[in-house]
Amino acid sequence: MDSTAPRAVVTGIGLVTPLGTDVAEFFDALCLPRSGLVRPPEGHVAAGIIDSAGIAPDLDPAPLVPRHDRGVVDRFALMAVAAADAALADSGIKIGEDVDPYRVAVIASTGAGGMITFERQARASGERGHTGVSSYLYSAFLPNMATARIALKHGIHGFSSTITTACAASAHAIAEAFRLISAGDADVVVCGGTEATLGGLTGIAGFRNARALATGWADDPTAASRPFDSRRNGFVLGEGGGMLVVERADFADARGAAGYADHLIMPNPDGSGVAACLRSAVSRAGLDLADIGYVNAHGTGTKIGDMAEAAAIRQVFGDDQPAVSSTKGVTGHLLGGSGAVEAAATILALAGGTLPPTHNLDDPDPACDLDHVRGTARPAQVRAALSTSSAFGGHNVALVFQPPSTRQARTGGTDHGR
């Protein structure tokens, strides 16, 4: 990595997850661990179709979007706005006072966008023909609407974009934030991702009929998501979103902002595989492999995916393995929102000196032999950590974080066993 390039520091975190919206409570739940997975209740679109789901809380649109838009904003965008509002409040930054609006960027990514809206409008067109389709269709379902809503609400006039690389989308958004800051194109970036696939039958049925989802856990939906476990048989579909405020480190210092972690680098997703991605990320961050003390793994609970990721980690780190865990055991797979939520978990683990365990990892698959954090959270002060994401289409992302170098450091919440 170019040593003269500006460093980036994470100063704000906002979340909407199956574990709730409070950042401290989210991390506490990861460490206990307390599962956010449930059997879809009576009346939910997923009821009777899937055994387990990570359902995020309902959101009141009143404080999130203008009155005239409250009925035409898709859930994926609503979750992104809620997470962005919380992240900006957490950072304490005031756009237009602390920073020029033209020096602030927004990247709110998603895998699918407004599938709930599209499904409803397709149904309406089938019932009433072309007159049944709302004139607000495109302003609700397009994937860039989450980014647009955040920028409009907060008066952000800098670079804005949406990345749609499936389950790697929000990790890519965070990586792009670093690129913007490193290139001098922004001082502050609001970045992350969101997904609301549980709101419509089409998305649920597509994964179910592809036999990608965990089955046979109707009696205990909290046991369905089993990353790296020998009994895993698919992932659990979840919904949610996470947004970070990332600032140029010297800019954050100048305004006295406290940081959670320094965000260093992410390699281009060149399709060469997870191992090459991990090596490149660490190298371009100017670190040695020995500096990595923790990996928050993609770890979805699929047979082949977990084996491939474990093999890549072993190939890269050899006998000197970092601690590894997947937080999907309690959240399920949030698809396009997963990378940002898991980056937040990694940042909080660094800040709090506590590594969350992989829930439901009762009998580790020998083919996934790693230094798993399991059972209880592990106290650990690590020099650097990786958060990994992978997606359909061969997109692999690795984000490297270190404790912040700014004057003030944010803490990661409750003491878990230290």
Question: Encoding tokens for residue 322?
Answer: 């970092």
* Strand ranges of the sheet holding 261-263, from the earlier edge strand across to the other edge: 160-161, 104-109, 188-195, 240-248, 8-16, 261-263, 395-402, 384-391, 292-296, 323-325, 371-372
Q: Vertex 113, ends 28 and 233: CA angle to 5°?
A: 55
Tell which residue, 298, 297, 303, 274, has the closest CA to residue 211: 303
Contact 402, 261 (CB under 8 A): yes
For β-strands 371-372 and 53-54, DSSP reports them as: unpaired
Distance CA 181, CA 229 (A): 39
Rg (CA), the chain: 20
Question: Encoding tokens for residue 181?
Answer: 């800051």
For β-strands 384-391 and 292-296, DSSP reports them as: parallel
Give the active site residues.
167, 298, 333
